[in-house]
Structure 1
Amino acid sequence: MMPTPTPAPSRRHFLRGVGVALALPWLESMPALAQAATAKGAAAVGPPLRLGIVYFSNGVEPAHWWAKGSGATMELGPGLTPMLPHRDDMVFIRGLYSQSALSSTSPHLGRMNLLSGAPVSLDPDVIRVGTSMDQVIAGAIGDRTAVPSLVLGIEPNELRLEDGLSMVYGSSLSWVSPTRPATKEIYPARTFDRLVGDGTGRALDRSILDAVQDEARGLGPRVSRDDHHKLGEYFEGIRDIEKRIERASKEERLEGWRPTLAQPDMPRPKHELPQDVPAHMKLMLDLVVLAFQMDKTRVATIMLNNDLSQMNFRFVEGVQGALHLDLTHNGRVASKEAMYLKTNQFHLAQFAYITERMKSISEGESTLLDNSILMCASSLFDGDLHSAEQLPVLLTGKGQGTLRTGRILDYMDKGDANRKVCSLHLSLMDRMGVRLDGFGDASSRLEEL
């Protein structure tokens, strides 16, 4: 069945300069601006609904992944402590799974169908996994924005084999077709250029704000006092990201492999990849927020790390070792289990960060978080045992009133037919205006969501 999208909004607003078209965030003054621009009047258009997906690899420490109660007094297990300030903003979901992942003989890569529910091909000569739900949505509504979907990551794609299979599976969360992963961008500068440049991805020789300053000045008298304040915060945020990208390109390499030279013996390329992992993640999450604010995209995914990641977590106090071999497979050694727990908490802190950022951004009488749904999930539950009997899933945001937060939804004892993660995907696609009869292994929506 072809998805049925909802109607597109009638108008978008930009500041324009040489080689730049900078989309404005949603403003309460927008209808008046449209009327002034067209001299024909314009109907008020509310902010759009956005979907953001934050993926972390290698699962969780099961003993520390739990929630009890409801609302602001909900009790959370140690693995979820970064979400304590957001208990009233979230839905904790227990018991969802994917049958094809559970039955796969590949303990890691066979689980990398989180967003499709389709079987991962175990034939090393055939790359195949189902089209992911974010790309189904992008295919239906992506023509309403400059960027149909934003697909980001921290670690580069890997070409090696694992379990006889290509690591393209472990490097890719989002698939535009069953045989082709979406292009994952890990460079903040390229992402920034795509969002605020001329659409070609070419770097600009000067600040984006400098390029549009004349039109920005002329906008001031035409917007409300609240919108004037909002625009100030928005422009300040863009300038801050520009400065951070510039700083990141000058930092020493701190993470992963080290070059044989202390200093490069050739001119350094522009727009280098940040080597401080927490700063890199925060910057990419800020770019997701910026993209949503600018309405450059309404669908975004970000992989905080690849599956089978060897990301060294020494940037977290008290942690030493690579995520996969040293920390996930900890042999139930207490000291290593404690470090593994800290990696879980670090991942959840990133999700708490983007939740808080979006909650702090006003869109009239609502917030950016109110007008969004964020999902945080991994493709494994017990990372040490490769278990996929259930998946760790959190949602935040109210989905424009379609999602009641501050709840725990437990499907573990409701029978396999009622706990399919693809039922969640169908429910989320409905909210994004894309309705299908079925998706992956599911033909029904997730009850009680």
Structure 2
Amino acid sequence: MERRRFLKGAGVAIALPVMESLMPKARGAVNKKPIRRFVCLSNNYGVYQKAFFPDATQAGKNYDMPETLKPLEKHRKDFTTFSNLDHGFTGGHQGVPVLLSGVRPILAHNYNEGNISLDQKLAEYHGAATRFPSMTLGVREKNLLSFTRTGVQVPTINMQQAYRAMFFEDTNEKKISQAERFKRQNSILDVVMGQAKSLNKELGKQDQEKLEEYLGSVRSLEKKISQQEPWLNKPKPKTDVPEPKPGNGTTEQLKAMIEIIALAIQTDSTRAITCSSGFANGDFGLNGGYHGFSHHGERDEPVAALKKIEGFQISMMSYLIDLLKAQEDPINGGTLFDNTSILYGCGMAAGTHQTKNLPLVLAGGGFKHGEHKVYPMPDPKRIPAANLLLSILQQSGLEIDQFGSSSSTLTGLEWS
């Protein structure tokens, strides 16, 4: 049974048990190139590094699991932790938006694709294959990770907005209004492109290059509209999972968001997801703010607070792995986890505003895992963290040899 026909016929009732009679056919129709998904879990303040990184002398498989990563112990063979990877610059909080590109926004003009983030590169690659090219999620925090190739930061949505976008059918009036808006936008873009082509003949070489950059952004918008239009009248998937309720603490909200991420992957609603999580005073029985805790000065109380907050974030990464391992993959065969790369990382290494040695853990996605990989520390020999991003993109099927500030794929990280 062809997959799209199956999804339409069954309404993507993901809450139903797996129908074994159909799975052999799904396995028999495995794509030549597996369909990969990507999830990034992050925060805006870095980590308490002494509890996050394994001992630098324990490279390879036989490392002692650090305190913060202990919730991942049961998945030890299915993830990799890295030491001494970063994007090679200073700047404290300015490093947060750089995590998934390796390019500072103010320097984006020096790169062919600007500071496009990994998730948005994947969104372009998958195109109209899913209803949502990407999802940019936030739990008690603004998500600062996602940028288009024109430097536009993708807005954050919360768990309730994500749930409703995936499962609530739009009214007929709203669908008609959206179709009319697409039509108006296309008409405007047609006029703009026509005028721009006429103007181009009158410009010098430098101005022609600037105009071409502008036209590139116009073409990008045209492409997005053409990708969104076919989904207007396609039915949304159904689920028995109730809509999450706002107002709960960080523990409940982040767990609910992780379940929404799993639902998004199970329904093939999107293949590129980023999620930043924060903290509110009173959560975990703590008094204070995340930012204040991050400036811990090695004091016992804020350090203990950071361990609680970050340990819970890692436990939610482990929970997502559990959820995806439990679901068979109707596109590729195997489980959803087998074909989903889950990256936990932060663009600022620690609350002391340093950006060296970023906290990075990668799970799933068809990579060969189970090790602590330690890279050279001295600056002349440092390996760009963007090399890891390039490896994820290549493993996802993109035939590219450079991304952001990468110099190559990441040495020592293998995939099947």
Q: Common fold, TM-score beyond 0.5?
A: yes
Would you say 1:292 and 2:265 are equivalent positions?
yes
Residue 158 of structure 2, aligned match among 166, 174, 186: 186
How many equivalent residue pairs? 337
Task: State the match for 1:230 in structure 2.
Answer: none
Are the structure 2 counterparts of residues 12 and 277 from structure 1 closer, same or farther at C-alpha, using a change threshold of 3 Å? farther
Larger deviation: 385-394 or 140-149?
140-149
Would you say 1:95 and 2:62 are equivalent positions?
no
Q: How far apart, CA to CA, are the structure 2 residues paired with 1:200 and 1:92? A: 46
Consecutive unaligned residues in structure 1, runs of 5 or more: 1-8, 35-41, 123-127, 158-170, 204-233, 249-272, 306-310
Would you say 1:51 and 2:44 are equivalent positions?
no
- TM-fit CA distance, 1:111: 4.0
Task: State the match for 2:317 in structure 1.
Answer: 351
Cα deviation 1:419-439 (Å, max 9, x = unaligned): 111111111000111122321
Q: How far apart, CA to CA, are the structure 1 residues paired with 2:388 and 2:35? A: 21
Identical columns (%): 24
Would you say 1:121 and 2:106 are equivalent positions?
yes
- TM-fit CA distance, 1:15: 4.3
Q: How far apart, CA to CA, are the structure 1 residues paired with 2:25 and 2:282? A: 50
Q: How far apart, CA to CA, are the structure 2 residues paired with 1:321 and 1:295? A: 39
Residue 135 of structure 1, aligned match among 95, 103, 120: 120
Task: State the match for 2:73 in structure 1.
Answer: 84
- TM-fit CA distance, 1:295: 1.2
Paired residues for 1:241-252 under 5 Å? 241-242=241-242, 244-245=243-244, 248=245
What's the RMSD between the two structures over aligned residues?
3.3
Give the conservation status (yes or no) of the 8 Å contact 2:97–2:145: yes
Task: State the match for 1:149 in structure 2.
Answer: 134
Paired residues for 1:154-173 under 5 Å? 154-155=139-140, 157=142, 171-173=143-145
Q: How far apart, CA to CA, are the structure 1 residues paired with 2:23 and 2:74? A: 35
Letter in 2 for 1:194: A
- TM-fit CA distance, 1:388: 0.8
Q: How far apart, CA to CA, are the structure 2 residues paired with 1:433 and 1:331? A: 44
Give the conservation status (yes or no) of the 8 Å contact 1:23–1:296: no
Residue 60 of structure 1, aligned match among 47, 60, 64: 47
Letter in 2 for 1:422: A
- TM-fit CA distance, 1:368: 1.5
Residue 432 of structure 1, aligned match among 396, 410, 414: 396
Would you say 1:277 and 2:250 are equivalent positions?
yes
- The SS at the match of 2:86 is coil
Give the conservation status (yes or no) of the 8 Å contact 1:381–1:391: yes
- TM-fit CA distance, 1:22: 3.5
- TM-fit CA distance, 1:341: 1.8
Cα deviation 1:344-393 (Å, max 9, x = unaligned): 2122112111112112223376221112111000122232x211111000
Task: State the match for 1:405 in structure 2.
Answer: 369
Residue 312 of structure 1, aligned match among 280, 297, 307: 280
State the TM-score, normalizing by the size of structure 1. 0.67
Are the structure 2 counterparts of residues 414 and 103 from structure 1 closer, same or farther at C-alpha, using a change threshold of 3 Å? closer
Are the structure 2 counterparts of residues 351 and 29 from structure 1 closer, same or farther at C-alpha, using a change threshold of 3 Å? same
- TM-fit CA distance, 1:199: 6.7
Q: How far apart, CA to CA, are the structure 1 residues paired with 2:385 and 2:171? A: 36
Give the conservation status (yes or no) of the 8 Å contact 1:110–1:120: no
Give the conservation status (yes or no) of the 8 Å contact 1:423–1:443: yes
- TM-fit CA distance, 1:153: 0.9
Task: State the match for 1:175 in structure 2.
Answer: 147
- TM-fit CA distance, 1:293: 0.9
- TM-fit CA distance, 1:328: 0.8
Q: How far apart, CA to CA, are the structure 2 residues paired with 1:24 and 1:445? A: 36
State the TM-score, normalizing by the size of structure 2. 0.72
Task: State the match for 1:196 in structure 2.
Answer: 167
Consecutive unaligned residues in structure 2, runs of 5 or more: 108-112, 175-236
Would you say 1:374 and 2:342 are equivalent positions?
yes
- The SS at the match of 1:13 is helix
Give the conservation status (yes or no) of the 8 Å contact 2:105–2:151: no
Q: How far apart, CA to CA, are the structure 2 residues paired with 1:154 and 1:352? A: 17
Cα deviation 1:202-238 (Å, max 9, x = unaligned): 99xxxxxxxxxxxxxxxxxxxxxxxxxxxxxx98xx3
- The SS at the match of 1:54 is strand
